[in-house]
Chain A
Amino acid sequence: MAKQTQQGAAVLQGTLDMLILRTLLYGPAHGHQIGKHIQRTTNDFLQMQHGSLYPALHRLERRGWVVSKWETAPDRNREFKYYRLTEKGRKQLLVEESQWKQMAEAVARVMWPAAEES
C-alpha cells in the first residue's frame, strides 16, 4: 500500500526531495522554515503541503540524506527539530539535480522542437 502511494506521486515526490535538499544547502533548518522557504522562493507558486513535507523529511532522514536534532532557535526561546544535510545528502542532491536537468531538457525537446532547431 505504501508502495502504491509512492509510485502514484513519484515525480512530485522526487522533486520535493530535491527541493528540500537544496534548501538545506544554506544550513540547518526546521520543517516550518523549509516549507516557508520553498513557498517564498517560488513566490507561493508551490504551495507547501505539510502532509507531504513531513513524510518527505522523515523519508530523507531514514535514507540518511539528512540528520535531525532538537535545537533551540536563535530568535525564539524554544526547541525545534532541525534538519541538517549529510555528506550522502549532498551527493544525492547532485544526482537529483542532474537527473532533473536531463528530464527538463528532454521534456523541452519534445514540447518545443522548433526552438531546439533554431
Chain B
Amino acid sequence: MRWWQIRKRDADLERELRSDLELEEEEQRERGLSPEHARDAARRAFGNPTLIKEQTREAWGWTTLERSLQDLHYALRQLRRSPGFALAAILTLALGIGASTAIFSVADAVLLRPLPYPDPQRIMRVWEQAPDGHRMNLAQPNFEDFRAQNHSFVSLAEYGYGFESVTGGGEPVRVTVAAVSSDFFKSLGVEPFLGRAFAADEMRPHGAPAILVSYGYWQQNLGSAKDLSEFHLAISGTDYSVVGVMPDGFDFPSGTSAWIPSELDPDTSSRTAHNWRGIGRIRDGMTIAQARADLGTIAGRLKTQYGKEVDLDNASVVPLADAMVGDVRTALLVLFGAVGLLLLIACANVAGLLIARTSARAKELAVRAALGAGRARLARQFLAESFVLSLAAGVVGVLFAGLAIRMFPAILPADLPRQQGIAMNLPVLLFALAVTAAVALSLGLFTTWRAGGADLRDALNAGAHHHSGSGAVQRLRGVLVAGEIAVTLVVLVSAGLLGRSFMRLVSTSPGFRSGHLITMQFSLPPDMSAPDSGAGQSQPAAIARQASLMDDLIARLRALPAAENAGLVGALPVAGGDNLADGDFLILNGIKPPANFDDWDVIAHNPLHVGHALYCVASRGYFGTLEVPLIRGRFFGDQDNLNSINVALISETLARQRWPNQDPIGQIIDFGNMDGILKPLTIVGIVGDIRARGLDLPPAGVIYVDYRQRGMNANSTPTILMRTTAPEDEIVPAARAIFHNIAPDAPVTFSTFAAEMGGWLAERRFLLLLVAAFAVAALALVSVGLYGVIAFFVARRTQEIGIRMAIGAQRGDVLRLVLGEGARLAAFGVAIGIVASLAITRLLSSLLFGIGTTDPFTYAAVAVLLSLIALAASYIPARRAMRVDPVTALRYE
C-alpha cells in the first residue's frame, strides 16, 4: 500500500463513519428527539469515532512504513520538548561516531584499501631469510637464482633507492631515484602514461642510460612537455635520456621521482651484499605459502651449494600491502581500540541520560501502558527515539570526522604510508552509517529492555511522588557510570603509558648535546662522484677532490660569526640513523691484508677475525661539534691524510663488545666492503657512545673513518652539523650563500637537529596525541555522566536529606553521604578498570619504551586522577545537597 492510497483509504473511512453516524442521527430525530438530543444520542450509540478509526486502521494492518513514520513523528515531538537532553545526547554520540569515523578513514586508506595496482593481492615483497629468522634484502647473485629457478612468480624484480642530485630541466634537485630491474614495472602492473618503458638494450650493463620520471617531477621540472626527446637528466655525472613519464599517483617506492634500470651498473658478485629489495608478482592461483616454499627450497639449495658464502637458508614472502604498513598496523589498531572505547563511553553516557529520562517519563509511560499501549508499541517508540538521536549524531559525527580529515595532513606523521588516500569517501561514509545503526540499535534495545522491566504499578505509584526514580534506576545508572569509569581508566592508562614512553624517549640522551644544532644535508655535486661509484676516476684523486671541497665548505661555514663549531658526517645520527650501513669487518692483527675481495671473503670465514659494526664517515669537527667525548687515544688529526696510514675511531660499545679484555687501540682492521677500498684501518681512539640508530635502540658499535682518507661512499647522505646559538633563519641564508658559491651543483636541505628528531618522533607523537585526545574526551564524558548520576541521587534523596538535617545532621554529614556515593562508584570503576587495563595494555607493549605495560606509576597516577575528577564531579551536587533547607525538603512531596 502506497502512502497516497493510505490517505485515500483514510478519507474513505472518514466518509463511511460520517454517513453512518448521520443516518443514526436522522433515525433518532425520526423517533422524535430534538436535533441536539438526536446528535448526542447518535454519538452515544456510535461511540468514539476517533477510537473506531484507530481500531479500524489496526484491522487494515499497519504497514511498516506508516508505523515507522508515526513513531518517528512522535519521537521528534518528544525530543523537541527536551532540547537540552537531545543536544547533550546528540553531541556526545557525535563525538564518538566522529572520532571513530575519522580513525577509520586512516585505517581504510592505510590498511584496508587494496593497493592501486592490478591484482594487488598477487604482488609480494621478497626477502632472503637468515637462519635466525630475520629478513635480509637480496644479494644480486641470489636474486638472479631466485628469478631463474622459481616456479611461482610471473615476474620477480629487485629495486633500490636513495637521494640523488639530479640536474637538467631547471635547478639541480635532491630527489629519490630508484634503480629497478627489468621486471619491476611488470610486477606492479604499471606502464608509463607518456613515452615508453625501458627498452631491452637500456637494461643491460653499459647500455644507453635511460630514465623514467614521476608525474610530479614531469610537471614541476619538465613543464609537462608532451615531447620528451629533448630531455636529459644528469645523475652522478651520467647523462640519462628521459624516455617516459609514470602515471599520476604511481608512487613506488614511496616518494620516488625517477627510475633508472639497475642493470646499467653491474653489482658485486657477493652473495652476502644485501643491496636489493625484492618484489614480485605470483602466478594466478598460487598461494603465498606455495611461493614461500618455492623460494625457500631455492634458498636451501643455495645454502647447500655455497655454504659459508651465503648467509641465507630460507626466503620470506609477504604481500606488498602488509609489508608497506609494517609497524603502523599496531599503532592504528591501538587507535582504533581507543576510539572504540570512547564510543562505548559515549553510548553508556547517553544510555544513562535515556534511563533518567525514561524514569522522568515513567508516569506518562505508565498511563500510556494502562490505556492499552502494548509493550511492543512502547518499544518501537524507544527505538524510534534512539534512531532519531543516533541519526542526528551520525550526521554531526560525519561533519566532525570531515573536519578531522582536513586537519590530518598537519598532524599525521610524514612517513605514514599511503596517507594521501585518506578522504571522506564511500567506505568511510558506510562505516559511519554502520556505527550509527549499531549505536541506534543498542541504545534502542537498552531502553526497551529498561522500559520492559519497569513495573506498571510501581511506576504509577511512584508517579505520585515528585521524583520518580526508583532504586533500580539509580543502581543501573550507577553500574553504567562505574563501567564508564573503568573504560576511561583503560584509555587513560594507555595514554599514560604512551606519554611516559614518549617522555622517556625524548629525555633519553642521544649521547651528545642535541640542542642548537643546524643540519645541512646535501648531495655530492655530480662531478664529485663517490670513490666506489666506478666513474672512472682513480680513488685517491676522487677522495682528494671531495675532501678539498668539504674542507672549503666547513672552513667557510665555521668562519660565520655565529658558528661555534661545524663538522661533517656521512649520515645524520639518530634521526637519519637508518642511513648508516652496518656490516662485518675483518680484524687483521698480523694477517696479511686482503689483496682483493676473494681474499677478504676467505679471511671472513674465520669468526675470530670478524666483527660487526656500523660504518660512519666523519670529520674531526664532527666529534667537537656534537661534543662526543674521547675516552682514550686520539681523534682524527691533521697528520691523517691520503698518504698516511688510514685510521679509525671506534665507539665505546664496540670496544667493550669486540675487545672485552684487550686494548683495541692499535688493532688493525679492514672495512673495505663498505667503500670498496681495501686499505686497512688502524684504530687510534675510542669515543663515547651515541644512539646512532635511534633513541629507542641501545647504542650500537660504530667504526668512524676520516673523510679525508676514505671519502664519502655512495650510500652516504653527507651532512654538515653546525653548533650555534643563533636562530636558524639567521644562519641558513648565510650558509646557503656559501653552498651556492662553493658547490652550486650540490643540492642542500637545511634543518635543525631538533626538527629532524621531531620527524623521527612524529609517528609516536601522533599516536600519543590522538590517544591523549581520546582520553581527555573520555574523561570529560565520564565526569558529566558521574555528575548526572550524583545529581540524580541528590534529587531523589532531597527529602531524606531534609529529614536528616532536621534531626541534627551537619552539612559535613550530608557532604560525606553524597561524596561517599561518588567515591563508591569511582572505586568500583577504578578497580575494574585496573584489572581490564592489565589485560588490554599488553597490546601496547611493542609501542612502549623504557617502561612495562604494568608501570605502577602510570596506574597509580591515573587512578588518583580519575578518583579526584570523580570527587569533583560529585562535589557540585553535594554542595546543592548541603544547601537543602529542611523545611522545604519536607514539604517537597
Interface of A with B (CB < 8 Å)? 1-2, 4-5, 30-32, 49-52, 54-56, 58-59, 62, 76, 78-81
Contacts and interface: CB of A to CB of B under 8 A. Distances in A.
A109 to B, nearest CB: 34
Nearest to B45: A50
Contact of B376 (A1, A30, A76): A1
Interface in B684-705: none
| Closest 5 pairs between A and B when the two form their complex, measured CB to CB | A55-B59, A32-B20, A1-B374, A81-B16, A59-B59
Contacts of A32: 20, 23-24
Contact of A1 (B17, B24, B377): B377
The main secondary structure of chain A at its interface with chain B is helix
Contacts of B22: 78
B19 A51 contact: no
Interface residues of B, number: 26
A32 B15 CA distance: 13
A1 B56 CA distance: 14
Interface in B347-391: 374, 376-377
A49 B48 CA distance: 10
A2 B61 CA distance: 7
Contact of B51 (A2, A51, A78): A51
A56 B58 CA distance: 10
Given A1-B374, A2-B61, A62-B61, A30 B55 contact: no
A80 B58 contact: no
A63 B336 CA distance: 54
Interface string B6-46: 00000011011101101110100000000000000000001
A1 B19 CA distance: 30
Contacts of B48: 51
Contact of A55 (B23, B55, B376): B55
B17 A54 contact: yes
A76 B25 CA distance: 13
B376 A51 contact: no
Contacts of A30: 16, 19-20
B62 interface: yes
B47 interface: yes
B56 A54 contact: yes
A32 B45 CA distance: 11
A50 B47 contact: yes
B59 A31 contact: no
A58 B47 contact: no
B438 interface: no
A59 B57 CA distance: 10
A55 B59 CA distance: 5
A54 B55 contact: yes
Contacts of B23: 32, 76, 80
B52 interface: yes
A30 B46 CA distance: 15
Contacts of B52: 50-51, 54-55
Given A4-B374, A51-B52, A54-B52, A62 B19 contact: no
B45 to A, nearest CB: 8
B786 to A, nearest CB: 38
Contacts of B16: 30-31, 54, 80-81
A31 B51 contact: no
